[in-house]
Chains A and B, each alone.
Chain A
Amino acid sequence: MPIDLELALAQPIAPLEVAIERGRLQAFARAIGETDPVYFDVDAARAAGYPDIPAAPTYLFSIEMEAVPPLGWLTDLGVDLSMVLHGEQRFRYRQMLHAGEHVTVRRRVADAFIKGPGAFLVKKTEFLRGDVIVADAEGVVIVKEKHA
């Protein structure tokens, strides 16, 4: 068994407080090959109607990765990261996030089960600005069985 399923479901994951920074959004946009100026330049963002540079759609995942260490929620369960595959990821957006904003990230393992040779963990995340949920995410991580 690659993971203790009961522990995965029971163990709380500490919430995060993250400040969204222009430099990080710019580096992310560059790394993914984005070219639209609104994701790099504050003036372009404001001309497009945003208060500041917007966080691109998948940046929410990187907000979660600001945990220290980024995949601590997995290593705290004794998981070997080289045995982990990202199975699925989805986001639901209510409001955009922008540089200069502060986000609270609440996470929990909502489901954990064995399927075939792996353990599946379903992690649900809520992103809050103040007390308003601006987005939520669901990710499925597969922990492969280690072969001796």
Chain B
Amino acid sequence: MISVADLSRLSVGYELPALEVGPITRTTLELFASASGDDNPVHIDADAARAAGLDDVFAHGMLSMAYLGRLLIKWVPQERIHSFGVRFVAITPVDASPRCEGTVVGVDDGLAEVALRIVLADGTVTLTGSAVIDIS
């Protein structure tokens, strides 16, 4: 976790320590479906995924967002997060190993804006987003 002193000295361009996750197995998807309350069959039942036009089950967008959440709370205590938002850009297939990254893109008045992204091994960007962090 970043020290309070380093946080107050944050500047644009700072890269958060990246978080590498996965592989996201079928078991992960089942555990997340159960624990998150999102029981949409396309994430846990290959027949349902195929009926929806996909080759196989794929990860919940909110699982990826949770991984970006982990990136943030590994970096700062959770109470420093003012806001956190993402756009779901591409599907995360089962067995993917996403890499979560963040870059400080703005610092103003005790708040830092962090640009967030998740990238798969083949370079596909699956999520983009941003968070505003209290750095005072």
Contact = CB atoms under 8 A, between A and B. Distances in A.
A96 interface: yes
B18 interface: no
Nearest to B38: A65
B79 interface: yes
Residue with the highest number of chain A CB atoms closer than 10 Å, among B66, B81, B83: B66
B86 A88 contact: yes
A70 B52 CA distance: 19
15 contacts: A24-B35, A32-B67, A54-B78, A56-B66, A56-B69, A57-B72, A58-B66, A70-B37, A70-B38, A82-B51, A84-B40, A86-B60, A87-B88, A88-B87, A90-B86
Contacts of B4: none
A27 interface: yes
Contacts of A32: 32, 35, 63, 66-67, 69-70
A82 B36 contact: no
For chain A, which range describes its interface: under 10, 10 to 19, 20 to 34, or 35 or more residues? 35 or more
Contact of B40 (A30, A34, A81): A81
B11 to A, nearest CB: 24
Interface residues of B, number: 40
Contacts of B60: 86
Interface of A: 24, 27-28, 30-34, 36, 48, 54, 56-58, 61-62, 65-66, 70-71, 81-93, 96, 138
A33 B59 CA distance: 14
A90 B68 CA distance: 12
Given A31-B28, A82-B48, A88 B35 contact: no
Contacts of A87: 87-88
A71 B40 CA distance: 9
